[in-house]
Structure 1
Amino acid sequence: MNPTLAALTGFVVWSLSLLVLMEIIRAKLVVTGAFAATAFNPQNSNLSPFMQRLARAHANCIEGLPIFGGLMLIALVSDRSTITNSLAYVFLAARILQSIIHLSSQSSLAVTLRFTAFTVQMVIAVYWAIKLITA
């Protein structure tokens, strides 16, 4: 599997993993009677801070998928994945790191590190976009 396809697959699988984790925790809350099945909201704002961060980390992935995933898909379908291959794993690592930091802490340092990981992704995406447009 080429690096771009692997990173795109990894991005989708990571997004799915966050969703599955959220739903496992929600299901446990319902099954144990700690929470009514109808009481959840999309932001998890009526749940623990961790659940709120989990919902936001998942949303961050979904929000980024059309942009970052779209660029990788464009490279793949246009047979120009040589443009994205070299940074595909860096992108995926930065995405996963951003989510892990998001889940771990809300400290100033964590927020700065999370933003740095997101900035890496944005810089890579801008580079890819420019190369795809001009190549």
Structure 2
Amino acid sequence: MRITTKGRYAIRAIINMALNAGNKPISIKSISNSEELSPIFLEQIFTKLKKAGIAESVRGASGGFRIARELNEITVLDVLEAVEEGVELAPCTTPEGTCGRSADCAISAFWSDTEEMIRDQLRNQTIQTILDKYMDVE
């Protein structure tokens, strides 16, 4: 499994918002400049984050985006699922089960179990957890 650029940038943007904006709106341009990310790419990400209820837009001169939920309620998995096509480890673990051999393949169950362990880890880590554990925030 590989977390795409979109997923990594989404996490970075949410962390940036949590550190720099509090509950005030922050512009995509501001996040783009401080994180050195493409504003056009961030717009695509924020469209998906808004649709998932993770971010909300605020109109007006001092508008932008802000985090829509409490930081301890937003998991890494929530963010990744909002912007990714999925968090699957192998084709046989997708909801569609695109591998025709998965029913007869012993390794398919292994991939499914491994993927579930990864999903549990991502589900158990919130944005607040990241701030508390990995960032020097007081």
Shared fold, TM over 0.5: no
Question: Which gives a bigger RCO, structure 1 or 2 (Cα 8 Å, sep 6+)?
Answer: 1
The structure that is strand-richer by fraction is 2
TM-score, normalised to structure 2, is: 0.34
TM-score, normalised to structure 1, is: 0.35
